[in-house]
Every structure is written in structure tokens, then in C-alpha cells.
Chains A and B, each alone.
Chain A
Amino acid sequence: MSVAARLKGKRICICTGSGGVGKTTTAAAVAMGLAARGQRVAVVTIDPARRLAGALGLEQLGNEPRLVDPDHFARQGLELRGELWAMMLDVKRTFDELIELLAPDQGTRDEILANRVYRELSSAVAGSQEFTAMAKLYELDASGRFDAIVLDTPPSRNALDFLDAPQRLTGFLEGRALRVLLAPTGAAAAIAARGSGLVFSALRRVTGVDLLTELGTFFRVLGGVVDGFAERASAVGQLLGDPATTFLIVSSLEPAPVAEAVFFRRRLQEAGLPFGGLVVNRVRVLARNPPPVDEAALTADLDGDGDLAARSLQALDDLRALARRDAAGLRRLAAEIDDRQPILVPQLDRDVSDLAGLVAVERFLFVSRRQRPALLAERAF
């Protein structure tokens, strides 16, 4: 099945997989393909290649999707019947926007935005991209402006970080308990003094008073947005499990991404989240019935340059060895992930980092099942 068939009736497509497997490219090509077929699509990328970002008009600042000029695609021979909107996630800004949205009053808002722990630490740490990507996805979906949203996920080495994003939101909520402990006031102070005096003094001893105070303030002011966060977290959780949401797992056939893909598939299953299919990038495709190699004929074709013929045959041998290795890896991966017909994108002879490359990838993603073998054969060794 093509991506189009797999995404039928879906409003949200989340592309996931380990770093360096072409997730951003896949997300952009999926969005472009949907837009070509008449939908109004938003693609949220995390960290696109600079040229790709330029081609999509993402170098302008702003944390909102922008319409990509359809002429760009027309020049590559692709007509967009719908619209493609693209944005690059700005973690810090999304964080701030969320606080502004959820803070009950101006005072709380200002206090959070001014807190040193929040300012210095919040946006740089592991998990913050996942967290804000989810928040942005929710916001865009709730706006009702798009028929489909394609989300590129952060290159977290551990896919768990991403799936746990909604729980991470509530992880901050646990700060509520810490807040009582760290900056006790009123009745809470009395309880803290009785029950946690030891813990408090130990903490102070370990961290120093200033850090403890800053942390106390951080958790106290964040307490002001706790209810908003909790609501948001459960809404995001629901959105991920919605029948209109699907996850595409993107992988290459290198051992580490394969392990990650298998692991992620299991996590989706455990979490009861919908799996839409496997996209395998950079595949070296083995020709089905390759003609026998004729070194003499090749030498003749090359004006008698036997050395060049030998080197060409060595290249063919090496690429076929890689193709056989890929075929074996693909069988294992497809079986483990339980997608018998993964979507294959062959390795192109250069990086996909401009619109021409995206258009090439889009063809492999959206080609019909009937036409796929012929298309793949063009690239086979």
C-alpha cells in the first residue's frame, strides 16, 4: 500500500524513528504528497537541513506554519492541488507560549517567565523538544485550519522520550509535591517541618540555599499552571490515541535504527497507539533477474578500457552485496515490525536536501502498489 492508502481518513501523521534515517525528509515528502492530492497540510519539522529549510521558506523566524509557494513545486513538475504549510519548531518560544496561555493571571505568567531555573534550564534539556512538539501538534489540530498535520519528531535516541511526552507534562506536576517541600508556607510548612525536615535539610546541604530557593520558586509558580498542564496532557494523550492519528515508523537498514524501530513498534503496541506503517529509507534494491555480467562486452563498450570495466564490476559487486544485506535486513525488520509491505525509498546518489530530492522521495512514497515494482527496478542493481 502507498502512503496515500495508509493515511486515508487520518488527520495526524507522526513520523518517528532514530536520528539520521531521513525522518524530516519523509515527513516533508508525505506532507507534500498529501498537498499535491488536494489537502491543506501542515508539516512541523524539528531541524531540517538548511537547504531544505530554505526551499520550504523556513528560514524566516516565527513559530507558526507558513504557506510554501506552490510555484516552487511547479518548477519541479509537481502540481499542488491543495496547500502545503511548513514550520520549524522553536522550543523556547513554544514553551513560553504555553505558559502565557495557561497562566491564570499576568502575575503568575511574569513570575514563571522571569524564574532563572525556567529561563536557563527549561528549553535546553532532553525531552523539551518532545514536550513542545506535542503541545504544538495539539494547538495546530485544535485550530481546525488543516485537513492533515504531519509531525517530524525530534531525533531522540530513545524513542521513549517522545511517547512519554504527555506523561512528562505531568512529571512537572509532581513538582506540586516538591513545592510544598521546598518552599513551605502556612499549613504546608507545619507538615513539612514535621515530616520532611530531614529531607529538607539534607537537600539544602546538597544543593545550597540559593538553588533550593530558585527551585522552590520554580515549582511554586509552575503550580499556578498545573491544572492547565494536566488538562493539556490528557488532551494530548487522547489526540495520540485518536482513530484519526497514525504513526509512521521511519528507519534505514543500519543495525542501530533497526533496533530502535523494533523497540518503538513495541512501545506503540503497549501504549495502544495506532501504527500506520514502516517507511524504509536508503535501501539498495537488488535487481530481480539481473542479466549475467559480461566483462568483455563491458570492456568493449568502454572503448577497450579493461581497467575501468573491472572497477565498474567491483562497484556492481559491492552494491549488490549491500543490496543483499539490505534485503535480509528488510525481511527481518518487516517480520519484527509486522508490516509485510513496508514502503521502500531507495538510496539516491546524493542527499535529499532540496525540493527536487523531495519530489523524488514523494514518488516512492505515493506510487501505487501496481506500479511500485517498475519504479523500484529503475534504481535496482
Chain B
Amino acid sequence: MDGLFTHSLLVVTGKGGVGKSTVAAALGLAAARRGLRALVVEVSARDDVSSALGARGPHGASAERAVSERLHHISIDPQSAMEDYLREQLPVGVFAGLLSRSRLFTTLTAATPGMRELLTIGKVWELAGHEGRDRYDLVVLDAPATGHGLAMLQAPSTFASVARVGPVAKQGRAIASFLGDPRRTAVLAVSTGEEMPVSETLELRAQLQEQMGLDLALVVVNAVLPRRFTERDRRALQAAPSSPARHAALFWAAWASHQRAQIDRLRRGLQGVALVTLPFVFQSALDPAALERLSRGLEL
């Protein structure tokens, strides 16, 4: 686990609904607690992470906001990422001319397949491996769900191969090599002890290996129930007459044992990939204190 925080970029992905954003935020907190300057990046228009972290201040497109002294948060929007990119690439006069035709650029981003993914991951690369290196030691990307997350990671090399030459090709290759370097980028999968998330995690690993030559650096299994009942307990409960407590205990035992079976399947399929579990949280909305507790589970 120690090695995790020596990377420049942690990409957190997994099936929808498993708690990716929570894990991304918790990783940001854990990194900041170690004295690293960390940035948590969200790529959709939602603000789950920043509200759970308790971020304050104006929240606009692609603005970095301070959560604490060493922890920042940003929500990337492809349109402003495109403008930033053009501003860097072009002389001032040309840039102004382009902005006056900004509709064309909106259209171009919307119509070119993969452009949104490329611009978003390009911005992440800038923050993690390029110009942001002076400001942040670690960038944690709360990536889109599995399939789309993988498409985002592949966008730079795909564009580089289509473009062949020119700035997009050159940068596409630079970003792809950054993402493909296991010393700088670590890909993490979040799962729960349920069949679908476990299967998706195993498939993600196979696809990462096959399509990008990468492996998962860590798998985080979220919302794991405490083990309360043994097999013997279960038999004793089954023999007892019906009551609400018996019903609850048997339900709990079946739920937890199903989780364990799925986690075992995950462990067997992962061979060699580190796996940590986070406990089931009984409160409904995560506040900074609950997040802080979870983040300690990621320190080990």
C-alpha cells in the first residue's frame, strides 16, 4: 500500500454504484494526511466528492478548490479543457479569433467521437504529470465506470494512432506513455461483494492487461459486512422457532456469506493483486468524519 502514494496519478474505476467517488475522496484524504499535496479530480458534472469532503468556495467549471491545506478538488469539464488547451497551443491573437467562433469548437468537441474523453484525460495528464507537478504530488482521478473509464484511458493512444503525425499524435503518445507507466500511474478498481461488480473487476483486469499492458495496482472492496455468524450459528438459528431476531440473524448471515463467497471469487481471480476491504457504513450520507474513518482503512 505504501507504494501506492508514490505514483503521480491514481485512476479509480469500477462498476456504477460501488462507491468509486467515496474511495477516491478517501484516498485523497489519506494522501494529504501523509503530507502529500493531493488533488481529487471528478470528471462528471456532479460534485459528490467535494460535498463529502466539505469543500467550500465558488464552484465553477474546471476550477481547483481547496478542501484543506494539502487537499484540493477539481471537476473537469471538456469544454473548458478544450479552451485551456487551445490557449496553450496558439498565439494570443489566433486564440482570440477562435474564441469568437467558439460555436465551432463546441460543435467540434461534440461531434468528434472520443474528443471529450481525450480532452478530459489530457487535462488530468497536465495536472498529474506535466505542469501540475509543481503544485501536486498526487492526483486521484474519480474515473467513469468500468467500460467508459477504460475508453477514456485508451483515448490518447487511439487518437495518436489515427492522427499519426502532428501535435495531437505527439501529445497522445506522451499521455499514453504516462498512463502506461506503472511507476507513475496506478489503476485501482473498486468493487463490492456482489456478483456483477466482482465480474466487472475481473473483466477490467483482463482488458487492462490485453489492451494496455497494465495491471491493477489495488482492488478496494467496499461495504463489507462484519462477520457475525458462523456456519454453526446458522444451523442453530435455523433450528430455533421463528422470531424477528432469528429472521434478521439468518438474513444477515446469508448476506454476509454471499459477500464472502464473492470476495473469495475475486481474490482467486485476481492472483497477485493487492486487495483491501472497507467496512459497510451504516449512515446514509457520508460526512467528512465518516470519510476520514474510511480513509484510515486505506492506509494500512
Contacts and interface: CB of A to CB of B under 8 A. Distances in A.
Interface of A: 18-21, 47, 49-51, 116-118, 120-122, 124-126, 128, 155, 157-158, 171-172, 174-175, 177-178, 181, 196, 198-199, 202-203, 205-211, 214-215, 218-219, 252-257, 259, 287, 290-291, 293, 297-298, 301-303, 305, 308-309, 311-316, 318-322, 325, 329, 347, 349-351, 353, 381
Given A312-B237, A315-B251, 18 more contacts: A49-B196, A116-B162, A126-B151, A157-B46, A158-B44, A172-B111, A198-B98, A206-B167, A208-B166, A208-B168, A210-B162, A211-B163, A293-B245, A298-B243, A312-B245, A315-B252, A320-B248, A347-B255
B16 A20 contact: yes
A121 B160 CA distance: 12
Q: How large is the interface on B (under 10, 10 to 19, 20 to 34, 35 or more residues)?
A: 35 or more
12 contacts: A50-B195, A117-B112, A124-B151, A125-B113, A125-B114, A157-B44, A171-B111, A209-B166, A293-B245, A308-B236, A311-B249, A313-B245
Contact of A210 (B104, B144, B163, B247): B163
B199 A49 contact: yes
A293 B195 CA distance: 34
A19 B167 contact: no
B183 interface: no
Contacts of B243: 291, 297-298, 301
B194 A351 contact: yes
B101 interface: yes
B48 interface: yes
A174 B109 CA distance: 11
B133 interface: no
Contact of B229 (A202, A208, A311): A311
A290 B244 contact: yes
Q: Main SS of the interface on chain B?
A: helix
A126 B116 contact: yes
Nearest to A295: B245
Contacts of A128: 113
B117 interface: yes
Contacts of A316: 244-245, 247-249
Nearest to A116: B162
A304 to B, nearest CB: 11
Interface stretch (B3-11, B89-97, B213-221): B89-97
B246 A301 contact: yes
Interface of B: 15-18, 21, 44-46, 48, 85-86, 89-90, 94, 97-98, 101, 104, 107-108, 110-114, 116-117, 144-145, 147-148, 151, 154, 158-159, 161-170, 194-197, 199, 228-229, 233, 236-237, 240-241, 243-252, 254-255, 258, 262, 282-286
A252 B46 CA distance: 18
Given A155-B145, A209-B166, A319-B251, A255 B285 contact: yes
Contact of B162 (A121, A305, A314): A121
A290 to B, nearest CB: 6
Contacts of B159: 121, 211
Contacts of B233: 308, 311
A71 B24 CA distance: 46
Nearest to B78: A126
Between B17, B116, B145, B245, the greatest number of chain A beta carbons within 10 A of the residue's beta carbon is seen for B245
B115 to A, nearest CB: 8
A209 B249 contact: no
B165 A209 contact: yes
Contacts of B170: 208
Nearest to A126: B148
Nearest to A253: B284
A106 B110 CA distance: 28
Contacts of A290: 244
Given A257-B17, A322-B282, A50 B199 contact: yes
